């Protein structure tokens, strides 16, 4: 079955057709790293990680790129306030981001490009735009000539005239048209800067994503994603830059996640309802937080409150309880049941349904409803006197696989490193030499539990991951 994605560009659900078979080139706009992230930033991290996980579950390889904006006005101001250097602050909050979203089950991107490490590509991208007549230099700054790109406004569905009426040239800006936007900004004295053909300066915000997507994924990518608030102007500007420079379509599918409200109000610093993910994960089980975030479809707004989080915890506990009960019964199961096939068919039908919901624009809200249907069936099954280990195992495996797709994995154990495995194999050889076969067998069994298979050959012990 194909995955259908709601595409902001066409405002329709479309069948996903990748550029290359079984591969997804996916770019997600990442954070500006001048502070801890708030839960509004945690939502795209979780949502698009789930999209990635589902693609992987369906057998796709996902080239997942998420950038770090490690130089911009916010960082420069933070550096002034704290009396620190920009790179020091950036490094600190990149690590904090990775830790916080890591705890929330978000996998590391395949590439995490930073502006400061992509400077050559950014400068050459801007030069191409100037050469092609889509950008101009104005006294050390460089601007994109918005009217030179015919399709400006196509993502946010606005006409250039509508946009024109709302645009102003701010004091100190050297642009020719209010719609033009900065690609390169001349440095003020003492600020962090890079050499360029236009003098010392730093990039505007939008250009980094165009340059990074091109560098890591090519001229045309499958999916570009980010928060709804980025649709305009950020993503509109990315399209203009990339399509003007590359002469081809930039992204085939545009995905945007909805906002988060706190106690039914918009989150803002002035309202004092600003919630940092960093603080939340100290107070609440990160698995419940992730479960809560996914219990609403990603395009809908989410309302966040302690009461809602508490009720999410109660729901989530029902899933974990079912799993624990299934695990317990596994040991006590006998092979007497004769209604196995009927139960396996029921689980299989739910499996189809789970995938149908996820195929439908990653509808995690409905997929979670299917999880509860499975939990209900499992609880009915557990009441029966005759349970079969094959059915119990299928319940467990199905539930575990679904939770893995949602990024709520149940295995706490870290994957063993190669060196650790080899050290254990050495220990087992030692044990066998000392005729301590009990220890030797225990090591083999422990490794097997962690999916490491040993094979004794005349040349010695070989191992592989199961």
In angstroms, the CA 121 to CA 113 distance is: 11
Long-range Cβ contacts of 443-450 (<8 Å, 24+ apart): 447/416, 447/421, 450/413, 450/416
Closer residue to Zn ion, CB minimum distance, 216 or 292: 216
For 189, residues 6+ apart whose C-beta sits below 8 A from its C-beta are none
Q: Are strands 23-28 and 61-66 parallel, antiparallel or unpaired?
A: parallel
Closer residue to Zn ion, CB minimum distance, 158 or 231: 231
Binding segment (CB under 5 A) for Zn ion, from list 28-36, 42-50, 359-367, 375-383: 28-36
Residue among 3, 9, 28, 29 that touches Zn ion (CB under 5 A): 29
State the CB neighbour count (10 A cutoff) for residue 422.
13
Query: Minimal distance in Å, beta carbon 208 to Zn ion?
Result: 7
Closer residue to Zn ion, CB minimum distance, 68 or 381: 68
State the CB neighbour count (10 A cutoff) for residue 454.
17
Query: Minimal distance in Å, beta carbon 29 to Zn ion?
Result: 3
Query: Minimal distance in Å, beta carbon 117 to Zn ion?
Result: 16
Q: Rounded to 5 degrees, what angle do the CA atoms 310, 292, 374 make?
A: 100
Contacts to Zn ion from residues 383-402, by CB under 5 A? none
Query: Minimal distance in Å, beta carbon 226 to Zn ion?
Result: 6
Query: Minimal distance in Å, beta carbon 245 to Zn ion?
Result: 15
Binding segment (CB under 5 A) for Zn ion, from list 26-34, 158-166, 179-187, 454-462: 26-34
Query: Minimal distance in Å, beta carbon 204 to Zn ion?
Result: 12
In the structure encoding, which two tokens stand for residue 391, read together?
């059915």
Binding segment (CB under 5 A) for Zn ion, from list 25-33, 75-83, 129-137, 155-163: 25-33
Query: Minimal distance in Å, beta carbon 74 to Zn ion?
Result: 15
Closer residue to Zn ion, CB minimum distance, 209 or 221: 209
Binding segment (CB under 5 A) for Zn ion, from list 32-40, 97-105, 208-216, 405-413: 208-216
Residue among 24, 76, 130, 209 that touches Zn ion (CB under 5 A): 209
Query: Minimal distance in Å, beta carbon 115 to Zn ion?
Result: 11
Binding segment (CB under 5 A) for Zn ion, from list 21-29, 33-41, 396-404, 444-452: 21-29
Closer residue to Zn ion, CB minimum distance, 105 or 227: 227
Size of the site for Zn ion (CB under 5 A): 2
Q: CA separation (Å) from 236 to 10, 153, 158, 280, 344?
A: 14, 6, 10, 33, 49
Binding segment (CB under 5 A) for Zn ion, from list 27-35, 262-270, 389-397, 398-406: 27-35
Query: Minimal distance in Å, beta carbon 238 to Zn ion?
Result: 6
Asked if 217 is part of the footprint of Zn ion (rule: CB under 5 A), the reply reads no
Closer residue to Zn ion, CB minimum distance, 52 or 287: 52
Task: Tell me which residues touch Zn ion (CB under 5 A).
Answer: 29, 209
């Amino acid at each position: 079955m194909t995955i259908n994605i709601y595409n902001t560009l066409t405002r329709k659900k479309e069948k996903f057709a990748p550029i290359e078979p079984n591969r997804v080139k996916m770019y997600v706009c990442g954070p500006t790293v001048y502070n801890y992230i708030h839960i509004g930033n945690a939502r795209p991290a979780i949502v698009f990680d789930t999209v990635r996980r589902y693609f992987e579950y369906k057998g796709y390889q996902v080239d997942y790129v998420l950038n770090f904006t490690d130089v911009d006005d916010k960082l420069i101001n933070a550096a002034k306030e704290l009396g620190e250097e920009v790179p020091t602050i950036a490094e600190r909050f990149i690590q904090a981001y990775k830790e916080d979203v890591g705890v929330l089950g978000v996998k590391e991107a395949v590439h995490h490009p930073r502006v400061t490490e992509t400077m050559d590509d950014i400068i050459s991208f801007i030069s191409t735009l100037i050469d092609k007549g889509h950008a101009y230099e104005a006294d050390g700054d460089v601007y994109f000539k918005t009217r030179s790109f015919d399709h400006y406004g196509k993502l946010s569905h606005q006409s250039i005239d509508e946009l024109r009426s709302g645009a102003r040239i701010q004091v100190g800006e050297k642009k020719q048209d209010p719609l033009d936007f900065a690609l390169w900004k001349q440095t003020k004295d003492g600020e962090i800067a890079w050499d360029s053909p236009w003098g010392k300066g730093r990039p505007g915000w939008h250009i980094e994503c165009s340059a990074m997507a091109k560098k890591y994924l090519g001229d045309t990518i499958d999916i570009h994603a980010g928060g709804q608030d980025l649709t305009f102007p950020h993503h509109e500007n990315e399209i203009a830059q990339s399509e003007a420079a590359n002469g081809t379509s930039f992204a085939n599918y545009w995905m945007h996640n909805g906002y988060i409200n706190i106690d039914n109000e918009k989150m803002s610093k002035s309202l004092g309802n600003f919630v940092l993910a960093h603080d939340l994960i100290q107070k609440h089980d990160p698995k419940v937080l992730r479960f809560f975030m996914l219990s609403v479809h990603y395009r809908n707004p989410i309302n966040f409150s302690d009461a809602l989080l508490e009720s999410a915890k109660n729901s989530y506990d029902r899933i974990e309880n079912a799993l624990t009960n299934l695990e317990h019964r596994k040991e006590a199961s006998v092979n007497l049941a004769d209604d196995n096939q009927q139960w396996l068919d029921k689980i299989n039908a739910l499996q189809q349904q789970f995938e149908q919901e996820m195929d439908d624009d990653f509808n995690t809200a409905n997929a979670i409803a299917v999880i509860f249907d499975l939990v209900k069936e499992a609880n009915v099954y557990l009441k029966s006197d005759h349970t079969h280990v094959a059915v119990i195992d299928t319940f467990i495996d199905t539930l575990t696989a679904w939770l893995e797709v949602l990024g709520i994995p149940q295995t706490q154990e870290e994957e063993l490193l190669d060196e650790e495995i080899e050290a254990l194999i050495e220990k087992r050889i030692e044990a066998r030499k000392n005729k301590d076969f009990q220890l030797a067998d225990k090591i083999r069994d422990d490794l097997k539990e962690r999916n490491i298979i040993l094979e004794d050959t005349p040349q010695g012990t070989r191992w592989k991951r199961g």
